[in-house]
Chain A
Amino acid sequence: MTWQRRHVLATDDWSRAEIEQVLDQTGAMVEVLGRPIRRTPALRGRTVILFFAEASTRTRVSFELAAKALSADVTNITASGSSVEKGETLRDTVRTLTALGGDVIVMRHAASGAPYFVAERTDAAVINAGDGWHAHPTQGLLDAYTLRGALGDLDGRRIVIVGDITHSRVARSDIDALVPLGATVTLSGPPTLVPSAWRCGMTPRGTTYEPDLDRALDGADGVIALRLQKERQHAGLLPSIREYAKTWGLSEERVKRMRPEAPVLHPGPMNEGVEIAASVAHGARSLIETQVTNGVAVRMALLYLLAGTPEQVA
């Protein structure tokens, strides 16, 4: 199958074959990362612009390593110190990014949908590295790759996503990557942190909502815990962090409700003792460090696929 997409904005309209193609390429990139010299010349002469209008070290560094492992030139434009902070409009920023002549723009932005805005207005390929509450497609794909590695095949598997679903781009992109691969997803978390429509039976295809985490975990094949932003308490959405940890935190006892060896994932950075117990985060089921390695490989695969697509679809 020839790769057709020019941008990676969200995977909500991707076919199973497209997702599998990325995951298969990711396997080859994992092998590259295991070599004594972790650099191949594939994207020599290409420029990747990392445009992070919202602070993020982990994702930015992951993309940077991915781009460098393919020998691309990398330019960083971060929120602090750039004109984004000085009130420059996104429209102006796009003009600048386009003038800089990047082949790929990797962007993180606080506003849901911002990557669509940029993709419409630039010749470069755009990879969404997280937009508002909407999507974080590379995280979804790396979680799917990690779970597939642990479980072999995701067909018929049931994965639990627990936490602040409403404000989570990771949850949305995990759903968008896992469900097409045949998995079902059980969403769990405080009712105030799950979109009202999803609580009222109109959950996305392949997903259900179960507020009781114990019941959600019973017999599950894996769990993804989401980071809890402490601001949610101040917004009146949670009575206390303590109560959240007790009711929706992944404890050792809870994790045992899943199938033996069912893996535990977390997109990071973790609040240990809130959404996940330290012993679970660093325990035998935890694939949290594997996620980090796989993250670089997934991003290499996407950079490779996008930089290889025709320059301009006329």
Chain B
Amino acid sequence: MVGIRARGDLIATRLHEAIRRNENVDVPLGSLDITLYRDDLTRIGHAPVVRESVIPFSIDDRIVVLIDDVLFTGRTIRAAMDALVDYGRPRAIRLAVLVDRGHRELPIKADFVGKNVPTNLADDVRVQLIETGGADTVELVQAAAA
């Protein structure tokens, strides 16, 4: 299991803990920072902070589940797959997300989805987690109201 920073890794940690508790299986867990793989680096005007990726196991010939909070355009997942293959050659990559809000710009599809939420393109989906100092909430902020 590899969570994508900066919220997917927190969700991955929770899933990892749930699997360990319920199934008594300790799935190897890592986190991935995809900043250096973003395709909009030259367009955002400033350099976003690069955080360390931690993948303390070989991914060669294993099934890796990428975990993120919201699946939207698919560009983050594209960057994450590019980053992941720099660590080795997994047998397969699967994708698990908390929310799929649609509006894909790349041919990417999640294998495991917490909830599909239909949205307008300009809407904002805000995920808060206890770990980041809020309550566990997912808010859909509609464009007109935002």
Verify whether A and B have any Cβ pair under 8 Å. yes
- A35, B36: Cβ atoms under 8 Å? no
Interface hits, B107-140 → A, CB 8 Å: none
Interface hits, A21-43 → B, CB 8 Å: 21, 24-25, 27-29, 31-32, 35-37, 39-43
Given A28-B33, A304-B50, A35 and B86 contact (CB-CB distance below 8 Å):
yes
- A28, B52: Cβ atoms under 8 Å? yes
Given A31-B52, A42-B37, A308-B41, A37 and B47 contact (CB-CB distance below 8 Å):
no
- B36, A31: Cβ atoms under 8 Å? no
Residue of A nearest to B88 (CB): A36
Given A42-B36, A42-B37, A36 and B47 contact (CB-CB distance below 8 Å):
no
Nearest CB of chain B from residue A269's CB, rounded to whole Å? 31
Is B13 part of the binding interface, using a Cβ–Cβ cutoff of 8 Å?
no
- B49, A24: Cβ atoms under 8 Å? yes
Is A288 part of the binding interface, using a Cβ–Cβ cutoff of 8 Å?
no
* Highest count of chain A CB atoms <10 Å: which of B42, B48, B82, B88: B42
- B47, A32: Cβ atoms under 8 Å? no
Contacts of B35 in A (CB 8 A): 42
Contacts of B36 in A (CB 8 A): 32, 40-42, 70, 304
A305–B83 CA distance with the chains assembled, in angstroms: 19
- B33, A41: Cβ atoms under 8 Å? no
Residue of B nearest to A27 (CB): B52
- B52, A305: Cβ atoms under 8 Å? no
Contacts of A309 in B (CB 8 A): 45-47
For the residues of A in contact with B, the DSSP-based class is loop
- A3, B47: Cβ atoms under 8 Å? yes
The number of chain B residues touching the other chain, given as a range, is: 20 to 34
Residue of B nearest to A37 (CB): B86
Is A2 part of the binding interface, using a Cβ–Cβ cutoff of 8 Å?
yes
A41–B82 CA distance with the chains assembled, in angstroms: 9
- A307, B50: Cβ atoms under 8 Å? no
A25–B45 CA distance with the chains assembled, in angstroms: 17
Residue of B nearest to A42 (CB): B36
Residue of A nearest to B34 (CB): A40
Is B51 part of the binding interface, using a Cβ–Cβ cutoff of 8 Å?
yes
- A25, B37: Cβ atoms under 8 Å? no
Cβ 8 A contact of A40, one of B42, B44, B49, B86: B86
A27–B48 CA distance with the chains assembled, in angstroms: 15
Nearest CB of chain A from residue B33's CB, rounded to whole Å? 7
A39–B87 CA distance with the chains assembled, in angstroms: 11
A252–B50 CA distance with the chains assembled, in angstroms: 40
A41–B48 CA distance with the chains assembled, in angstroms: 15
Per-residue B-contact encoding for A1-28, CB less than 8 Å = 1, 0 else: 0110000000000000000010011011
Contacts of A43 in B (CB 8 A): 41
Could you pull out 30 A-B pairs where Cβ atoms are within 8 angstroms?
Answer: A3-B46, A3-B47, A21-B49, A25-B49, A28-B51, A28-B53, A29-B50, A31-B52, A31-B53, A35-B87, A40-B36, A40-B83, A41-B37, A42-B37, A42-B38, A42-B41, A45-B42, A301-B50, A304-B36, A304-B50, A307-B47, A308-B41, A308-B44, A308-B45, A308-B46, A308-B47, A309-B45, A309-B46, A309-B47, A310-B45
Closest 10 CB pairs of A and B: A308-B47, A40-B36, A37-B86, A42-B36, A28-B50, A31-B52, A2-B46, A28-B52, A305-B47, A310-B45
What residues of chain A have their CB less than 8 Å away from a CB belonging to chain B? 2-3, 21, 24-25, 27-29, 31-32, 35-37, 39-43, 45-46, 70, 301, 304-305, 307-310
Known: A21-B49, A37-B85. 15 other contacts (CB 8 A): A28-B33, A28-B50, A28-B52, A28-B53, A31-B53, A32-B53, A43-B41, A304-B47, A304-B50, A308-B45, A308-B47, A309-B45, A309-B46, A310-B45, A310-B46
